[in-house]
Structure 1
Amino acid sequence: MDELLQLDESIFQEDESLYDRMERLRPKFDMTNAALTAMCGDPPIPIHSESDEAWPPEAELFNILVDLINVPNQNYNRATSASQAAAATNALYLSMTPDASLRHTEDYSYGALWTVWSQLFNFIKQVPVEHHAMQRLVDWIAELRMIEVQTLHIWGKDIELWKGLPLLYPEWVEWVEQYYVLPEDCKSRRFRTFRDLLETSGGYALWNYWK
């Protein structure tokens, strides 16, 4: 009976959120499970959409990213898997901004850019920090930056689409500050992990937030 009580106390901690409990109890990487992970990959993540009534472009991008993170490890390659996801994302963006003569303007492009970045944020907050899906999101951004479209004029400045990732940084700061301000929250750790991976292996720095 004492053993059961101790088990119960180790699983359930007072005032702990469900997200934090899942993060704490999720098996961590070590040499005993490294081989199994290498062969089988991480378990699939039940990613959910922000809304049950997502408009079609949101749903399409959601499916693009779900397909990317669910590619089996043995079949995954950044140059193909992430590149294809990036190309599909760009095609979706262009379909949302069909008038090339207006695409450079902030009013015309903002909604399409927000669709891309808000879906990225939705995935980051649901991906455990050690799961391969976090690196795949970074790979997707890195491949997206290699696609040359045109120069946008946003907030009084010219910025290249996609190399400059227009609006990502200001939307990142606003999103994270508004929703995830507790450094000990597991979702905050996920955003920090993505930021660090994006800088080290994706070649883009989201400056100064949660140093």
Structure 2
Amino acid sequence: MHTVFHLNLSPLPKESFQSLETFRASHLKQVECIWSRKIRFYDGREEHLPAFGKLRYLHLHSCPSLKFVLPWSFATLPSLEIIHVTYCDELRQIFPRGEPYRGRCATSIEFPSLKRIHFHELPKLICEADMLAPALETIKLRGCWSLRRLPTIHNGGANDKPLVLVDCEKDCWDKLDWSGMEESRNLFAPSHSGFYRKTMLRGTPLR
């Protein structure tokens, strides 16, 4: 199976996945995407559709061929609280840009309810879409060596929320790109594990 939900043939009706609150998938060895890349959100009437409007929890584990999860064209996933993705070696993007909606596609995605992110052993993850997550509380990263950006948590106004705890390897933190995120950078509090990626031996240890 290449795709879990193959939706290339027609626009997605507004009722699609309207009540979905939790999505879990694990040990899908051959699956390359959950929702097809050419997914289209359009019914000709409403500007904002409620598809995935109640999605609160996304959990993916051990899907070694997975390359992306949900192509997105709108500006928000209003109810998503937790993203938990582990051991997906080929995963590059969770929310890549999808088919344009009425000729345009959102340049960033807002997650007003997102509180926790846990990424473990996602060596190719780059996160193409810019994420705005003002309610974010914790981020845990392990083995995400290609990741260069964190979500933006500054919303342009007064922000007296506690610092967002980022539990990650120091190597990963040092490689992050903060371009355009200067106002958010000071709202993160990094915490580094004592266990780091070991340097690989050069040549053979056998004599």
The TM tier, using the shorter chain, reads 0.3 to 0.5
Normalized per residue, the structure richer in helix is: 1
| TM-score when normalising by structure 1 | 0.33
Structure of higher RCO (CA pairs closer than 8 Å, 6+ residues apart): 1
| TM-score when normalising by structure 2 | 0.33
Normalized per residue, the structure richer in strand is: 2
